[in-house]
A and B are shown apart, each in its own frame.
Chain A
Amino acid sequence: MTTTTGTARTRYRTIDLVVIAGIGAAFGVAFLGYGALYSLIGPLTAAFKPAEGLLVGIWFLPAVIAGLIVRKPGAAIGAELIAATLEMMLGGQWGWGTVISGLLQGGGVELAFALTAYRRSTVPVAVLGGVLAASLEWVWERFAYYPEMSWGFAIIMLGFFLVSGALLCGALGWAATRALAATGALDPFPAGRELAGTDRA
C-alpha cells in the first residue's frame, strides 16, 4: 500500500469517494427542505418567474463544496450528480431534466477547478465555478424549459443566474467550506487543513 505523490491526485482514496457521494446525498436531503426559501421571494416570482434565478446558485453548492474539499478531478461533478439523482429518484418535478441540470451545473464548477489544475481552494475559483455553472444551466433552461421566452427576459434571467452563481454558489459555498473546516470535520483533507488556517494542538 504505497502511494507516491505523483499518483496521489488522481488515485481516489475511499474517503474521497465517500465524502463526494456523502456531500451530494446530504444536499439532496437538505434541498427537500429548501422549498421554503422560494416562499421568501414568492411575491417577486409570482409576478416575474425569472426572478427565481436569484436562488439558482444554491443548487450548485454540493459541487463547489465537494470540489473545494476533495480537489480531485470529478469531485464537483460527482457530488452534484448524486444530489440530482437523489432528487430525481424521490420524484422531483423535472425528472431526467434534474440529472441533466446536475451534470451541467457540476460540470461548470468542475471546469473552474480544472482550470487551476485542482490546486486551489480560493474564493475566485469558487466564484468562477458558480458563474460557469450558472451560464451552462441558463443555456439548458433556455433550450429545454423557456424556448418561447422573449430574448429580453431571457437576458434578464441570465443576469440573475450569474449574480446568484457568483454569490450563493461561489461566496456562500466558500464560506460554508471554511465553516466546515473550523469544525475539524475536514481534517483528513489537505484543503480542509489549509482552510482551517491554524493547526489545532
Chain B
Amino acid sequence: MSTAIAAAVLEARDLGWRPASRREPTLSGVTLHVPAGQRVLLAGASGAGKSTLLRALAGLLDPEAGEITGSLSTPARPGERGLLLQQSVHALVAATVARDAAFGPENAARSRTQIADAVRGALAAAAVDVDGEASPFELSGGQQQRVALAGSLALAPDALLLDEPLSMLDPVSADAVHAAILEAAAGRTLVVADHRTARWLPHVDRVILLGPGGRILADGPPGTVPLPVAELPPLPRPAPGAEVAALEAVAIRHRGGREVLHRDLDLALRAGELAALIGPSGSGKTTLLRVLLGLEAPAAGTIRRPARERTAFVPQEPEHSFVARTVREEVTASPWAQDEAAAEALLERAGLAHLAAANPFTLSGGEQRRLAIVAALAQRPRLLVLDEPTVGLDDARLADVIALLDRAREEGCAIIAATHDARLASRADRTLALPARPASDRPVSREITPVPHPRRTAARACNPLTLCAIGLLAAIGSFGVSTWQIGALGLLPVLLLAPLAVPGWRSAALRLAPVLLSAATLAWTTALLSPLAPLSASAWLLGAKEASRITLFVAPGVLALASVDVTALGDALRIRLRLPGRPLAAGVAALVRTGHLRAQWERILTARILRGLGTARSPRVLASATLALLVDTLRGAEQQALAMDARGFAEADARTVALPSPLGRADVIGALVGIALLLWPWALRLMIG
C-alpha cells in the first residue's frame, strides 16, 4: 500500500438513523456531500446529532443497534476514515504508546517491518512527544489525544473525522493537539465537530450548523453561517462572608510518591466566593483536591475546612456519584440531605423537575452535571468542591451550570473548582495556579519495544508460555504429595528457584503471603473437618500435608507469573498457539486497562464515601459502586469498540502481531525446570513414601 496521502469524498443522501432503544430518529433526512480534501466544521448544540453523523460518515453505524435509512458512501478499506473521540482514553488499546499506534496495522495483517515503519511515521506525524515504550494510560489528555491521532494515521486515512477532540483538554494541550491535527490533515478530507468554533474557523472551508435531528440549519463558508452565542449570566456580587476554608503553606506530593510537587500553597476562601484551581493536566490539581477534602494528608502545612457533612464534592464524571434509581431519590440519597421540600426546590431551580422520576444514568451529559451539583447542594454545604464541573459542556449548558453555582454562592456557599475552562475560571474571586511540570526536550524513541518493567528477573528471559507451563506442571506434580514429609521436601526446589522469578526476597514474600495464609487456613480446616478425630495429632499432620500440597500446587505458578506480562502473553498465544486474533486482542486491551479501572473504582468509592453513604466495606456501597463501575465500563466499551473499528478491528480475523514471541535457550531450561517440578514429588514418593 502506498503511503501517499489521498483524500476521500464523503456522501450521505437522505440519511436517517434510529437507535433501536428509541422511538424517534436521532438523524433524519440528512443529505451532505463533502468533496475530497474539503475541511468542514460541524457546529450545533449538544444533542443535535453531530457525533452520530460523524459515526455515519466513518461507516460505523451498527445495523444491529438501530435502523439505517437512505444511502451513505462507505469506506473502501479498513482505516480509510480515521475517527477521533472526545475522550481519548477510550481509544487506547495497548500497554505502550508504540503498540497502541501499531493496533491498526496489526488489524490490517501487515508484516512486522511494515508495522514498525507505519508506527514510526504515525507517531512523528501526530507530534507524539513521549517514548514509544511509555504507558498511554499515564499520559495527560492532550498527549493521549495525539496518541489516538497517531493510531488513526498509522492506517494512512483519506479522511479524518474528529468528534470534539479538544473539549476535554486544558488550553495549552488543546493548542498542541489542534496544531497536530491541522498538520496531519494536510491533503486529507477533514470533518471536525466542535461546539467551540473560534479555534477552527480560520482553518476550515465550510461550516455546517446542525439543529435537532441532524437537520442542516445553515451551510456555507465561514463567516456566512450565523453561529449561536450563549450569554453567560452577569457576575454575582455576594457580600463577602466569614472564612470557610483555608490552605496555609501547604505542600503536596503525588500519591505514593516521595517528590514534593508544590510547596507554600496558600488560599483563603470566604462564604460566597468562587476559587478556581487551575493548571495543566498532571500539575497536581486532583491531588490538591484530595488533600483539601481530607482524603490525603498534605506533605506540609495546615488546612481548615468545614465539617465533613457540610463539605460536598462533585466528581468530574457525574455518573461516578450516582446511587439512586430516580433523580428525586438521588437528591436525597445522602444522609446529610434529607429535606424533601428543599430537594424539590433545587430540582425546580436546575430545570430537572420534569425528570424527577427518570433514572439518573439516562440523563444527558448536561443534565447529569446539574443533577450531581443539585445532589451536592442538597447537603446545604458550606464548601462545595468541584472537579472540572464544566468540561465538555457547550455554552448553553455551561450557562445553566454557572447559574446554579451563582445561586449557591448568593446563599453563602463557598466553591472551589479545579478547572481548565477559561469561561469558568474568569468568574473566580480567587485563583490558585499550579505551574506545569517542566517538559523534557530530549529526543524520543518511536520504536516498538516489549512493555518495560522496572525490575528485571532471570525468568523474564523465558517466553510467557514457558512460565505458564512451569506453573501448570508444578501444580500437577503437587498431587503426588501423600505425606507431610514429601510435601516439605517437595517445596525445597521451589524455594531454591524462587530468586530466579522475583527480583528479591521482599517481593517473593509479598507474593507468597496470601498463598501461605490460605495454606494455613486449609491446614486448620482439614484438622477440623477431616474424617479423623477433630484436632487430634494425626488430623493436624493430615492438615500439614494438605498445607504443603496446596503450597506446592500454587506457589510455583504465582512466582512464575510475577515475570509474565499480559501483552507478551497475548502475543505468544497468537503467534505460538494461533488463538483467534480478535477475542485475544479484546482481552489484552481490557487487561492492560486494569490500572485505569482501579483508578475509576477508587473515584466511584470516594464519591460515595464523601456523600456519607458508608465506608468501602459496606455491602451497599460495594453493590452500588460495582453497578457504577459496570456502567462506566459499558459506556466506555461502546466508545472503545467504535475507536477499534475505525482502526479496522471488525475485519481483523487475520491480524498480525508487531513483535515476535521468541523461544530460545532459556525456554529449554524453563521446560526442564517445569518437568523436574512435575516429577519431583512423585520421585520422593517412590523414595520415602
The answer on a CB contact under 8 Å between B526 and A149 is: yes
Q: Within the assembled complex, what's the spacing in Å between the Cα atoms of A90 and B31?
A: 52
The answer on a CB contact under 8 Å between A19 and B514 is: no
Q: Within the assembled complex, what's the spacing in Å between the Cα atoms of A180 and B518?
A: 35
B536 CB-CB contact with A under 8 Å: no
Residue ID in chain A nearest B510 by CB atoms? A91
Q: B64, B518, B546, B594: which has the most chain A beta carbons within 10 Å?
A: B64
- Residues from chain A with a CB closer than 8 A to the CB of B21 are 184, 187, 192-193, 196, 199-200
B640 CB-CB contact with A under 8 Å: yes
A20 CB-CB contact with B under 8 Å: yes
Produce 1/0 per residue, B505-535, CB < 8 A to A.
0000011001101100110111011110000
B218 CB-CB contact with A under 8 Å: no
CB of B543 to closest CB in A, whole Å = 8
The answer on a CB contact under 8 Å between A86 and B594 is: yes
- Residues from chain B with a CB closer than 8 A to the CB of A81 are 587
- Residues from chain B with a CB closer than 8 A to the CB of A193 are 20-21
- Residues from chain B with a CB closer than 8 A to the CB of A30 are 601, 622, 625-626, 629
The answer on a CB contact under 8 Å between B361 and A150 is: no
The answer on a CB contact under 8 Å between A17 and B62 is: no
Residue ID in chain B nearest A50 by CB atoms? B529
- Residues from chain B with a CB closer than 8 A to the CB of A145 are 522, 550
The answer on a CB contact under 8 Å between A26 and B629 is: yes
- Residues from chain A with a CB closer than 8 A to the CB of B597 are 25-26, 29
The answer on a CB contact under 8 Å between B631 and A33 is: no
The answer on a CB contact under 8 Å between A17 and B586 is: yes
The answer on a CB contact under 8 Å between B517 and A89 is: no
Instruction: Enumerate B391-414 residues with CB–CB distance to A below 8 Å.
Output: none
The answer on a CB contact under 8 Å between B583 and A25 is: no
Q: Within the assembled complex, what's the spacing in Å between the Cα atoms of A34 and B521?
A: 19
The answer on a CB contact under 8 Å between A12 and B65 is: no
Produce 1/0 per residue, A11-55, CB < 8 A to B.
011110111111111111110111011011000000001100000
A3 CB-CB contact with B under 8 Å: yes
The answer on a CB contact under 8 Å between B65 and A82 is: no
Interface residue from A34, A65, A185 paired with B631 (Cβ < 8 Å):
A185
The answer on a CB contact under 8 Å between A18 and B641 is: yes
Interface residues on chain B, number (Cβ under 8 Å): 84
Q: Within the assembled complex, what's the spacing in Å between the Cα atoms of A8 and B62?
A: 12
A139 CB-CB contact with B under 8 Å: no
B24 CB-CB contact with A under 8 Å: yes
B633 CB-CB contact with A under 8 Å: yes
Q: Within the assembled complex, what's the spacing in Å between the Cα atoms of A20 and B649?
A: 16
The answer on a CB contact under 8 Å between A21 and B22 is: no
B242 CB-CB contact with A under 8 Å: no
Produce 1/0 per residue, A133-162, CB < 8 A to B.
000000000001111111101000000000
Given A93-B515, A187-B19, A148-B546 contact (CB < 8 Å)? yes
A183 CB-CB contact with B under 8 Å: yes
B225 CB-CB contact with A under 8 Å: no
Given A26-B597, A33-B616, A91-B562, A13-B641 contact (CB < 8 Å)? yes
Q: Within the assembled complex, what's the spacing in Å between the Cα atoms of A33 and B627?
A: 14
B591 CB-CB contact with A under 8 Å: yes
B202 CB-CB contact with A under 8 Å: no
Given A18-B586, A18-B590, A148-B542, A153-B529 contact (CB < 8 Å)? yes
- Residues from chain B with a CB closer than 8 A to the CB of A148 are 526, 530-531, 542, 545-546
Instruction: Enumerate B528-558 residues with CB–CB distance to A below 8 Å.
Output: 528-531, 542, 545-546, 550, 553-558
- Residues from chain A with a CB closer than 8 A to the CB of B626 are 26-27, 30, 176
The answer on a CB contact under 8 Å between A200 and B362 is: yes
Produce 1/0 per residue, A92-108, CB < 8 A to B.
11111100000000000
Residue ID in chain A nearest B629 by CB atoms? A26
Given A33-B616, A95-B554, A183-B631, A25-B65 contact (CB < 8 Å)? no
A190 CB-CB contact with B under 8 Å: yes
The answer on a CB contact under 8 Å between A185 and B526 is: no
Q: Within the assembled complex, what's the spacing in Å between the Cα atoms of A74 and B362?
A: 29
Q: Within the assembled complex, what's the spacing in Å between the Cα atoms of A190 and B66?
A: 10
Instruction: Enumerate B278-310 residues with CB–CB distance to A below 8 Å.
Output: none
Q: Within the assembled complex, what's the spacing in Å between the Cα atoms of A179 and B627?
A: 8
B172 CB-CB contact with A under 8 Å: no
- Residues from chain A with a CB closer than 8 A to the CB of B586 are 14, 17-18, 20-21
Residue ID in chain A nearest B531 by CB atoms? A150
Interface residue from B471, B545, B649 paired with A14 (Cβ < 8 Å):
B649
CB of A45 to closest CB in B, whole Å = 9
The answer on a CB contact under 8 Å between A14 and B554 is: no
- Residues from chain A with a CB closer than 8 A to the CB of B638 are 15, 188
Q: Within the assembled complex, what's the spacing in Å between the Cα atoms of A33 and B617?
A: 8
Q: Within the assembled complex, what's the spacing in Å between the Cα atoms of A15 and B63?
A: 12
The answer on a CB contact under 8 Å between B598 and A95 is: no
The answer on a CB contact under 8 Å between B582 and A29 is: no
Q: Within the assembled complex, what's the spacing in Å between the Cα atoms of A180 and B359?
A: 11
B388 CB-CB contact with A under 8 Å: no
Given A15-B641, A30-B629, A36-B622 contact (CB < 8 Å)? yes
Q: Within the assembled complex, what's the spacing in Å between the Cα atoms of A28 and B583?
A: 18
Q: Within the assembled complex, what's the spacing in Å between the Cα atoms of A96 and B593?
A: 22
Other contacts beyond A13-B64, A14-B645, A95-B554: 9, CB < 8 A: A18-B586, A18-B641, A23-B630, A26-B630, A95-B515, A146-B522, A176-B630, A180-B634, A184-B362
Lowest 4 CB-CB distances: which A-B pairs, in order?
Answer: A183-B361, A21-B590, A95-B557, A17-B586
Q: List 24 A-B contacts (CB under 8 A).
A: A15-B638, A17-B586, A17-B641, A18-B637, A19-B634, A19-B641, A21-B590, A25-B590, A26-B630, A29-B597, A39-B617, A82-B587, A93-B514, A95-B555, A95-B558, A146-B529, A149-B530, A150-B529, A150-B530, A182-B325, A182-B361, A184-B361, A185-B630, A188-B638
The residues of B with any CB-CB pair to A shorter than 8 Å are: 19-24, 59, 62-65, 74, 325, 359, 361-362, 471-472, 475, 510-511, 514-515, 517-518, 521-522, 524-526, 528-531, 542, 545-546, 550, 553-558, 561-562, 564, 566, 582-583, 586-587, 589-591, 593-594, 597-598, 601, 605, 616-617, 619, 622, 625-627, 629-638, 640-641, 644-645, 649-650
